[in-house]
Structures are given as C-alpha cells and as structure tokens.
Amino acid sequence: MKECFASRFSLIAGECGSTISKEHYISEAVLREISWNTNIVEIAGAGWQPTPEPKSIGIGSMVSKILCDKHNNGLTSYDAAAKSFFQFLRPRSRLNTSVDGSNLEKWFLKTLIGLYESKVLKSPVPGFSLQNELYAHLFQESTLTFPMGLTIATSTPTFNMGTELVVGPYFNEREVFSYVFKIFSVEIHLPFLALNLSYPQYFRPLHILKRTKDGDFKMELNWKNGMTLRPETYLLLIENE
C-alpha cells in the first residue's frame, strides 16, 4: 500500500486514517471550472511532458494515492475558495463574489504539494524537494509569511479563453525558489524561498475587477494578515470578445 505523505508529519498532522484514498491531485471541482465542464483540460509543465506544448488530459485520469482518507478530508475545506476564485475568473462568467484569500493560498499550497508528491511537478534542478516548513503550514492554522505567500499577477490584462493550466518553476542553476500557476491568463505565484523576490508585477490584490461588455464584476479577496506587496490594491482584467 502506498503511504500518506502526512504520515511523515504526524506530530503536526496527527495519525493517519485507515485507508489511502485515490484523489485528484488538483481538486476535481476546480478542474471542472477550468475545463468549462467539458472534463478535459490542457496541461503544460508536468514532469512527464518532455516539451512545453500543452496536452489534453481527461480530468478522470488526474488522480493519485498520496493521502489517507482522514488527511484528505481535512484539506477539502480549501476547495470552496479555489472553486469560487476560478468561477469568477472563467471567461464569460458573470458574478460578483468574495473569496477568503488565506484559504485560497492554502489550496494552492495543497496543490503544489500534491503535484510534488504525485511526481507530476517538473524540477529543472536535480535533488529538488519542498521544504518541511511548507508541509507544516499546510497542516496547521498558520498562514505563510513574507517572503513566502501567494501573490497574483497578469501578463496581459485580456483573457486567455482556453482551458489551459500551466505550472512552471522559477529557478536558478542551484535552486527552485517558486512555482507559478497560469490559468485564464492570470498568474498565481507561490514563492517558498527568499531568493530574488523582486517581481514587482506580483502582489496581493484586495480585489480583482473584471471588465466585460456587460459591465464590471468584482471579486473581493480577504487576506488574514492583510499584506499587500505594492500600493496598488486591485487587478484589472478585460474580457474582449
């Protein structure tokens, strides 16, 4: 039987449950949002992909046995924040919403660790591993503190209408110091080392404004520790069709 990765951290995560569950390493509800309910997403940047071209993958196959039932259930509460976040971002969706940024951050942390434990995460640096501190944050109430912590950016303010999910490392020749998730033209950056944290385009918006032909829609983001990395307090996205 495969082992639950939380069993390596039983002092903080508690004892394991009786069975190993086969679960999506990216929450199924979120994959459905990204796929526009087609159950197929385009993936780029996975460890098994030799080239950068995205590949269509059925959601049903994106599963692995990395957590026991008890530890898996303990982390499902973060899925709702991620689902709301992607529901808002999805092109042609029309809703105003409010998302707990700290829960969203935990969801990305859970996903990053899940990808790593499933050996899906590509590392350009041999011997790369995620530090124990990240696992501690996942299983405890604590929030990540600067210079760690989720930030959001957009490379172009207009929407990418695809169902593409790209995960890529930021690295130098010795270390990987963060991963970036890119979905619907929005980049979510989760740094875990303090190196070279000088990306001014990344910050924690207090809200995201989506400008569409039907008017503006707003997602408020609530951060427990209130940190913003730049004086700008919002991110503007433009949907042009």
- If binding is defined by CB under 5 A, does position 68 make contact with Zn ion? yes
C-alpha to C-alpha distance for 202 and 178, rounded to whole angstroms: 13
Looking at beta carbons only, is 71 or 106 nearer to Zn ion? 71
Residues 6+ positions from 50 with CB-CB distance below 8 Å = none
- If binding is defined by CB under 5 A, does position 71 make contact with Zn ion? yes
- If binding is defined by CB under 5 A, does position 66 make contact with Zn ion? no
- If binding is defined by CB under 5 A, does position 6 make contact with Zn ion? yes
Question: What one-character-per-residue DSSP string does 95-108 give?
Answer: --EEEEHHHHHHHH
Q: Taking the complex as a whole, how short is the minimal distance between the CB of residue 137 and Zn ion, in angstroms?
A: 17
- If binding is defined by CB under 5 A, does position 4 make contact with Zn ion? yes
C-alpha to C-alpha distance for 54 and 215, rounded to whole angstroms: 32
Label residues 68-98 b or e (16+ Cβ within 10 Å = b): bebbbebbeebbbbbbbbbbbbbbebeeeee
| Number of residues in contact with Zn ion under rule CB under 5 A | 5
Q: Name which position in 3, 9, 14, 16 contacts Zn ion (CB under 5 A).
A: 16
Q: How far apart are the first and last CA of the chain?
A: 50
Q: Taking the complex as a whole, how short is the minimal distance between the CB of residue 18 and Zn ion, in angstroms?
A: 10
State which residue has the least CB distance to Zn ion.
4
- If binding is defined by CB under 5 A, does position 57 make contact with Zn ion? no
Q: Taking the complex as a whole, how short is the minimal distance between the CB of residue 77 and Zn ion, in angstroms?
A: 16
β-bridge partners, 238: 158, 211
Looking at beta carbons only, is 4 or 30 nearer to Zn ion? 4
Residues of this chain that interact with Zn ion (CB under 5 A) are: 4, 6, 16, 68, 71
